[in-house]
Amino acid sequence: MTSEDAHRSGFACFVGRPNAGKSTLTNRLVGTKVAITSSKPQTTRHAIRGIVHRPDAQLIIVDTPGLHRPRTLLGRRLNDLVYETWSEVDVVGLCVPADEKVGPGDRFIAEQLKKVARRTPVVGIVTKTDLVPKQQVAEQLLALQDVMDFAELIPVSAKDSFQVDELSDVLVSQMPEGPQLYPDGELTDEPESTLIAELIREAALEGVRDELPHSLAVTVEEMNPREGRDDLIDVHALIYVERSSQKAIVIGRGGERLREVGSQARRQIQALLGSKIYLDLHVKIAKDWQRDPKQLRKLGF
């Protein structure tokens, strides 16, 4: 076998400002939802691995939280996680949305990235190209080019699947030769309970605003097949908020919002598990958890 057609494998991570479209792009490349997405900034809170299986390669995408100016201990922890992740991968994809000017946030990330760029190639990715005219995509590519030296630059749209396969080719071309690292068919190594908690958080994020999206956290407390039934799983989960006023919003008048969140999450979880579930949701206050090391640890940060 020549090295041209040797099997390649390795890790690529997506980094960028919050809301740049990293998780949506990860899901599109993997072909299934491994990361939740939302229009609220700072949706992703851990490094999520999604696995792309190809005949010639296995590409592990690590989706990371959006890098931002931290205001809480959680924010600092999330940024540190990004720095840690990008120092461990074979290639970094810096994501910048086509519909927002390249700004100080992107330049700050590029400055930080230059430290790893000596060892690790960085691909510049202009995301969400479906939102702007072609000319603006071209301008964005030029603007991004000025920010740092990229191994390659590529525009994509996760929504339209525009150039998503090409991006996969670009990332694979930066992978070392190597064997398959994950078994066939495995699309993520996220534990089921994490995926479920995230689907609940995604549902809860919908329709809330200001500080509330940041204050939400979800844990799955228990998950058991219903006794005497093989077609029903009981899932008990907690939605955490930081203040009692937030609790009232999440629950809604007469419990209406919480019911909506529950039924939306239930649909998604049933699709994930391929089984009927009963979802028991409770809202709990964990006062200022984003700033409290002890509570952060309890919530897995």
Ligand X SMILES: Nc1nc2c(ncn2[C@@H]2O[C@H](COP(=O)(O)OP(=O)(O)OP(=O)(O)O)[C@@H](O)[C@H]2O)c(=O)[nH]1
Of residues 41 and 133, the one with the C-beta less far from Mg ion: 41
Q: Does 44 bind Mg ion (CB under 5 A)?
A: yes
Task: Determine the Cα–Cα distance for residues 126 and 99; give it in Å rounded to an integer.
Answer: 9
Q: Which of residues 68-127 bind ligand X (CB under 6 A)?
A: 127
Q: Does 26 bind Mg ion (CB under 5 A)?
A: no
Of residues 65 and 155, the one with the C-beta less far from Mg ion: 65
Which of 22-30, 82-90, 110-118, 196-204 is the region at the interface with ligand X (rule: CB under 6 A)? 22-30
Task: Determine the Cα–Cα distance for residues 28 and 159; give it in Å rounded to an integer.
Answer: 8
- Spatial neighbors of 223 by CB under 8 A, at least 6 apart, are 192, 193, 196, 233, 234, 235, 236
- Residue 168: name its binding partner from Mg ion, ligand X, none (Cβ under 5 to 8 Å by kind): none
- Angle between helical axes of 164-173 and 22-30 (0-180°, round to 10): 90
Of residues 9 and 127, the one with the C-beta less far from ligand X: 127
Residue choice 7, 108, 116, 130 for contact with ligand X (CB under 6 A)? 130
End-to-end CA distance of the chain: 45
CB 86 within 8 A of CB 120: yes
CB 299 within 8 A of CB 45: no
Structure tokens at 221: 């407390």
CB 23 within 8 A of CB 49: no
Q: Which residues are annotated as a binding site for GTP?
A: 16-23, 63-67, 127-130
Binding mask 137-166 for ligand X (x = CB under 6 A): --------------------xxx-------
Residue choice 23, 27, 58, 120 for contact with Mg ion (CB under 5 A)? 23
Q: Does 20 bind ligand X (CB under 6 A)?
A: yes
Binding site for Mg ion (CB under 5 A): 22-23, 43-44
